[in-house]
Amino acid sequence: MIRHIINQHIAKGFAMMLYDFKYEDLSLIAWNALLKYQSSYKVVPKFYVLTLDKVRHRCNPLEPESMTDITDAAESARTILLGLNRDWIKKQGDFFVESGISFLTSVIWFLKRYQNGKYCSLPHAIELMQIDYEPLFKVLMTEPEILVLIKPFMTAFKDAPEQLEGQIASAKIAMARLSSPQLYYILTGDDFTLDINNPAEPKIVCMGNNPQKILTYGA
What average pLDDT does the segment 98-106 reach? 95
pLDDT of residue 126 exceeding 90, the answer is yes
How much of the chain, in percent, has pLDDT values that exceed 90? 71
Q: Give pLDDT tens digits for 13-69.
A: 999 999 998 888 999 999 999 999 999 999 999 999 998 778 899 999 999 999 999
Q: Where does the pLDDT of residue 88 fall: very low under 50, low under 70, confident under 90, or very high at 90 and above?
A: confident
CB 106 within 8 A of CB 149: yes
The CA distances from residue 74 to 42, 104, 107, 110, in Å, are 35, 8, 10, 12
Is the pLDDT at 85 greater than 70? The verdict is: yes
131-164 pLDDT per residue, tens: 999 999 999 999 999 999 999 999 998 888 888 8
The pLDDT score that the predictor gives to residue 162 is 85
Q: Which is nearest to 146 in space by CA: 180, 189, 102? A: 102
